[in-house]
Structure 1
């Protein structure tokens, strides 16, 4: 049983616990130095995800508007050119 626990943890439980405590203190000091808190990190992450979602779906909305604007010009020109081409009877094909 002890071998399974050590294999899962990557070492003896006491040594892993000491390493986790020391790394937690170091990360806590670093976050304190940057004036960050877990709550601010979570809120910032959520805000970033929401901004990304807004940007992606806002971009899709813009693409649809650009498509419709361009189609209002391109489709009539295409139809006119097809009608004029049918009247010419070009036998190259």
Structure 2
């Protein structure tokens, strides 16, 4: 009877559930380590992770802005020149 309650509590064979939990913990640990989280100072790591995501987002905006300006240096004068040339033809 105690074994049935334990099996019901774990949602399956306790040994298999523990094996799955160990494997899942290792996989999640690898993923968290890959994104830079450290179990010794998880709060500091989470704050650092959030800051790097914030910086990454605004870094992308800055890169897009630079590309826009670089393209505008070429596109705007060409567009203006074509508009002026088309105006003289009419």
Normalising by the smaller structure, the TM-score range is: 0.5 to 0.7
- How much does 1:41 deviate? 1.6
Q: Which runs of 5+ in 1 are unaligned?
A: 1-29
CA RMSD of aligned residues (A): 2.2
The answer to whether 1:69 aligns with 2:70 is: yes
The answer to whether 1:59 aligns with 2:60 is: yes
Q: Counterpart of 1:86? A: 87
- Equivalent residue pairs, number: 56
- Equivalences for 1:1-93 in 2 at 5 Å? 36-37=39-40, 40-89=41-90
Which structure would you say has the larger Rg? Answer: 1
TM-score, normalised by the number of residues in structure 2: 0.54
Measured in 2, the distance between the counterparts of 1:86 and 1:52 equals: 49
* Higher RCO by CA contacts (8 Å cutoff, separation 6 or greater): 2
Measured in 2, the distance between the counterparts of 1:66 and 1:76 equals: 16
CA offsets 1:17-61 (integer angstroms, 9 cap, x no match)? xxxxxxxxxxxxx8xx86834xx2211110110101111111111
TM-score, normalised by the number of residues in structure 1: 0.53
Q: Which runs of 5+ in 2 are unaligned?
A: 1-21, 30-37
